[in-house]
Structure 1
Amino acid sequence: MTFDPDRVTTITFDSYSTLVDVDAAESALEARVEDPEPVSKLWRARSLEYTFVANHIDAYQPFYEMNRDALQYALDAHGVDISRAERDEILAVYHELDVFDDVRQGIDRLRAGGYDCYVVSNGNPEMLASMVEHAGIEGLIEDTISADEVETFKPAPEIYRHAAARTGTPIDEIAHVSAGWFDVQGAKHAGMWGIRVDRKGTPWEPFDGEPDLTIDSFHDLCEALGV
C-alpha cells in the first residue's frame, strides 16, 4: 500500500533504537568486560528473543526482567564473572540512554503540525518514565503505552490494537515509527501504517513486504506529512 499522509492523524513511536540509542549500553560494559561489543550485541539479541518466545509459551514478565535475564546470559556466554550488584549497575543504563539527535526537533515539528504523539513500547512503565525524562521529551509526548498493560510483547497484534484504543484513534489512522523490522511488520499487520526509521543504512528483511515508508530521520517523516 502506498503511504497516504492524509489518512494519518496520530503518530506512535517505538522507544529503544528508535527514540534512544541502545548501542550506548555498550559503554556501561566497558569497565567490566574486556571485549564489550559482542556481549552487548548478544544481550540485545537475547532480550528480544525472550520476548518473542514469551508470547508463544505464556511466560510474560516485565521487560526489565527480560533484559536482566538476557544480560546475565550474555555475560555467562562470554565467561564474564561479575557480582549481581555490578550486573544491576550495567542494567540500569537503560534508564539513561542517549536520545537520537533528530528526535526532539522532529517530534516538536509533528506536534506543531497537529499530530498527537505517543510511545508504544515493550518497556515496562518505570523504564518508559525514566526514558522519557532522560530524553527530555516529557512535553512532546501525550503518553507512553507499555506492553505491560496487556502483558504481551511486540509484534503481537494485541499491543497495537491496545495502543489504538488508548489513543482513541482508528487503527488505520496511526503511523507507527520504529527501527525494529519486526515492530514495523507487527504494526502493519495490525492495521497501522508501518514506518521504518533507518539511521544506519541497513537492508530491509526480504520477506512479507516492504514498510509503508522508510525514513532516515524524524525530519523525513515531517516532510512526508507536510509539516
Structure 2
Amino acid sequence: MSFDPDRVTTVTFDSYSTLVDVDAAERALAERVADPEPVSRLWRSRSLAYTFVANAVDAYQPFYEMNRDALQYALDAHGADVTTEERDEILAVYHELDVFDDVRDGIERLHDGGYDTYVVSNGNPEMLDSMVEHAGIGDLIADTISADEVETFKPDAEIYRHAAARTGTPIDQIAHATAGWFDVLGARHAGMQGVWVDRKGDPWDGFAGDPDLTADGIHELADELGV
C-alpha cells in the first residue's frame, strides 16, 4: 500500500525514539554502571517485551512502572551494584530525554500547514506532559493520548481506535508517524496510514507488511504532505 497524502487530516506521533532519543538514557547509566551499553539495550528490549506480554496476559501497569521494572531486571542481569535511589535517578531521565533536531520545526510545518497534530504513546500522562514541555512543542500539539487511558499498550488496535475517537478524526484520515516497527504495523492494522520514521537507516522487517511511507525524519513527512 502506498501513502495517500490526500486522505490525511491528522498526524499522530509516537514519543520515544520518534520525538525523543531513548539512547540518551545510556548516559545516565554511564554515571553508575561500568559498562552501560548492554544494560541500556537490555533495559529497552525488556521494557518493550513487558508491554507485549502485558497485553496478552492482562497485566497492565503504567509504563513508568514497567520501565522501572525493566531497568531493575537489566541491572540485576548484569550484576550492577546500584541502589534503589540510584535506579530511580536513572529512570527519571525519561522526563528529559534529548529531543531530535527536527521535532520542533517539523511539527511546526505540519501545524502551520493545517494538520492537527497529537502524540499517541505508551507513556503514561505524567511522562508525556514532561516530554512535551521538555521538547517545547506544547503550542503545536493539540493533545497527548496515553495508553493509560485504555490500559492497553501498542500494537493493540484499541489504542489507535481510541486515539481516533479522541482526535475526532476518522481513523483512515490519520497518518501515524513512529520509529517503532510494531507501532507502524499496529496503526496500519487499526486503519491508519503507518509512517515509519527511520532515523537510523535500519532495514525494515516486512514479515507482516510494509509501511505506507518511510521517512528519515519529520521534514520528509511534511514534504510528502506538501507543507
Identify whether the pair has TM-score above 0.5, normalized to the shorter chain: yes
Q: Secondary structure, in 3 states, of the residue corresponding to 1:222?
A: helix
What is the aligned partner in structure 1 of residue 44 from structure 2?
A: 44
The amino acid that maps onto 1:174 is I
Which whole-Å CA distance do the structure 2 matches of 1:208 and 1:97 have between them?
31
1:55 corresponding residue in structure 2: 55
Secondary structure of the residue aligned to 2:151 is coil
Report the Cα distance in structure 2 between the residues aligned to 1:146 and 1:188, rounded to whole angstroms.
18
Distance, in Å, in 1 between the alignment partners of 2:41 and 2:115 is 35
> Which residue identity does 1:35 align to in structure 2?
D
| Amino acid in structure 2 at the alignment position of 1:97 | L
Q: What CA distance in whole angstroms lies between the structure 2 residues aligned with 1:2 and 1:126?
A: 36
SS in 2 for 1:47: helix
Name the SS of the counterpart of 2:94 in structure 1: helix
- What is the distance in 1 between the residues matched to 2:206 and 2:12? 24
Corresponding residue number in structure 2 for 1:118: 118
State the distance in 2 between where 1:213 and 1:206 align.
Answer: 13
Q: Which amino acid aligns with 1:122?
A: N
Please give the alpha-carbon distance, in whole angstroms, between the structure 1 residues aligned to 2:180 and 2:103: 16
After alignment, is 200-209 or 87-96 more displaced?
200-209
- 2:146 counterpart of 1:146: yes
Letter in 2 for 1:168: G
Aligned residues: 227
The answer to whether residue 20 in structure 2 is matched with residue 29 in structure 1 is no
| 1:90 equivalent in structure 2 | 90
Which residue of structure 1 lines up, in the alignment, with residue 18 of structure 2?
18
Following TM superposition, by how much is the alpha carbon of 1:209 offset from its aligned partner in structure 2, in angstroms? Answer: 1.3
Distance 2:200 2:3 in 1: 22
TM-superposed CA distance for 1:206, in Å, is 2.9
- Cα shift readout 1:174-204 (whole Å, capped 9, x = no counterpart): 0000000000000000000000000110000
SS in 1 for 2:90: helix
The residue type equivalent to 1:102 in the other structure is D
**What letter matches 1:45 in structure 2?**
S
Q: Which residue pairs with 2:162 in the alignment?
A: 162
Q: Return structure 1 stretches of 4+ with deviation > 4 angstroms.
A: none
**Residue of structure 1 equivalent to 2:196:** 196
Q: Which residue in 1 is equivalent to 2:7?
A: 7
**1:102 paired residue number:** 102
String of CA shifts for 1:31-88, please: whole Å, max 9, x gaps.
1100000000100000000000000000000000000000000000000021100000
Instruction: Output the amino acid matched with 1:75.
Output: L
For residue 199 of structure 2, give the secondary structure of its aligned residue in structure 1: coil
Classify the secondary structure of the residue corresponding to 2:224.
helix
Matched residue type, 2:94 = Y
Q: 2 CA distance for matches of 1:83 and 1:106? A: 40
Q: Compute the TM-score of the two structures, normalised by the length of structure 2.
A: 0.99
Q: Which runs of 5+ in 1 are unaligned?
A: none
